[in-house]
Amino acid sequence: MKLQIALDFDDMEKCLKVSDAVRNYVDIMECGTDTLVRYGMEAVKTLKNRYPEKTVLCDQKIMDGGHYFGCMANDFGAEIFTVLGVASDETVKGAIDAAKERNIKVLVDMCSVTNYKERAVQLRNWGADYICIHTPTDQQGKLSFHENVGEVAKLIGAEHCAVAGGINPERCKYLRDIKPAVVIVGSYITYADDPVKAVKEVREALYGETFD
């Protein structure tokens, strides 16, 4: 399991302050959609230049232009980019083709996908690297799709699963048994008074690590 931090900020100074603090505790630096909207693709380059040892994900949530925007993400330094599972088949296949051509990875975000089991199998058969079960921010007060990760993992393999949206140490406890390839944590760490303490709590729950 790799731990990904979702850096969703409209203030680059705050973004880099948090990412600097937790860099030794995460595997993947995500240039979140908030950051992309505010600062553009240069934000991806900023993160890759600052953390060359880390994998950088560009959370574009592509809905159209899968191949074009997938290649663009890589042009700015991303090794993983995202496309929406509700996008057209042509868009998703284009994104997968871009990932293969560039020797990078594509994560399909399953926000608002209703037939998630069937779609997950289809996407994996096409060659999508990761299928992400994502509880969107606007729905987190009422719904949680995290329990579906286990079902999807049985269908496509946990090594192709990711999970995001409202992830905290309590939810990491059952994810530890499922072992999805990527666990994505955002606000629990990024909006914590002490991000280092928060990321350590996540790692303790996810990996059983202990810290002094």
- CA 11 to chain CA mean position, Å: 20
pLDDT of 51 higher than 60: yes
Angle between helix 12-22 and helix 42-50 axes, rounded to 10 deg:
30
CB–CB of 70/98 below 8 Å? yes
Tell me the DSSP string of 126-141: HT-SEEEEE--GGGTT
pTM: 0.94
Region 20-49: what's the mean pLDDT?
Answer: 97
Choose between 101 and 140: higher pLDDT: 101
Q: Which two tokens stand for residue 127?
A: 């060659």
Which pLDDT score is estimated for 139? 54
By C-alpha distance, which of 167, 202, 170 is closest to 185?
A: 167
Which pLDDT score is estimated for 141? 53
Query: Domains in the chain, start-ordered, CATH in brackets?
Result: 2-207 (3.20.20.70)
Tens of pLDDT, residue by residue over 4-19, are 999 999 999 999 999 9
Which pLDDT score is estimated for 43? 98
